[in-house]
Chains A and B, each alone.
Chain A
Amino acid sequence: MKNLDSVLAAYLAGWAIFFVYYVTIARRMATLRDEIERLKDSLNRGK
């Protein structure tokens, strides 16, 4: 089928953007979770 490669490229690019964006949110959350644990530990040690 003519232009099927363009259609697949568009869908792959589109879904890649959403997937990568979702992964970056999850990674930023994991980093913040670690930071919260670290700060809570240091605050508890200071008590």
Chain B
Amino acid sequence: MVKTVFGAAILFVMIVVTAYLAFHYAPIEKTMGVIQKIFYLHLPSAFSSFVALGVCFYANLRYVFTREAKWDWLGVSAAEVGLAFISVVLISGPIWAHPVWGIWWTWDARLTLTFVLWLLYMAYLLLRSMLEDPDKRALFSALFGIFAFLDVPLVYFSIRWWRTQHPQPVILGGPGSGLDPRMRVSYLLVWAAFTGLLVLLIDARYKLEAMRAGVEELRREAEVR
């Protein structure tokens, strides 16, 4: 309980710090105006989702080769947390797009592939909920998770490979891209806070999965008696 309250307190401090950086420290963008402030929520969420799904991919690979339960726990934890971050991306994006583009959504490569990514990891979690045998559940979901991760590089490179409605990259975007120094500092600090949030959530979710495995073991023990 103390850890839960401590985690929630950290989360609250992060909200205050990121709000200060995004709304007060970073300047207002000249063309888009204040709506550009969504960038400080949208982009760190997108990068954090890639990190979470990268952790999931690594854990899935390790499970397939070692069959150790801890990799299965890490895989599902990272997948669920990644899904939460993608959900934030898919909600904040259209809220930004409506005043800027005049439409909530368009089926361009970046948006479509991000939505497909969300569907793939929803399917990953649904698959797990349908399989009762722990070994089968872990193996099949690890294999599916490895396949699902193929969409991550497609999402990342989609705005570089194809002409899209989605804005071109401002971070690592090559010549002509870049950010105002105060925007860059704000973005990097917000991203650091989001990385902290990512670690906090994956750690909490991993402990939950370890507890669930403990409960399943106790249940089996109770059934044998």
| Chain A residues proximal to chain B, CB less than 8 Å | 1-4, 6-7, 9-11, 13-15, 17-19, 21-22, 25-26, 28-29, 32-33, 35-36, 39-40, 42-43, 46
Contacts and interface: CB of A to CB of B under 8 A. Distances in A.
A7 B84 contact: no
Interface of B is mostly: helix
11 contacts: A2-B34, A10-B38, A11-B22, A14-B41, A15-B15, A21-B84, A22-B8, A22-B201, A25-B208, A29-B208, A32-B215
A7 B88 contact: no
Interface of B: 4, 7-8, 11, 15, 19, 22, 33-35, 37-38, 41-42, 45, 81, 84, 87-88, 91-92, 95-96, 98-99, 197, 200-201, 204-205, 207-208, 211-212, 214-215, 218-219, 221-222, 225
Nearest to A9: B95
Given A10-B41, A17-B84, A18-B201, 14 more contacts: A3-B35, A4-B34, A6-B35, A7-B37, A11-B38, A14-B45, A14-B91, A14-B92, A18-B88, A19-B11, A21-B201, A22-B7, A39-B222, A40-B218
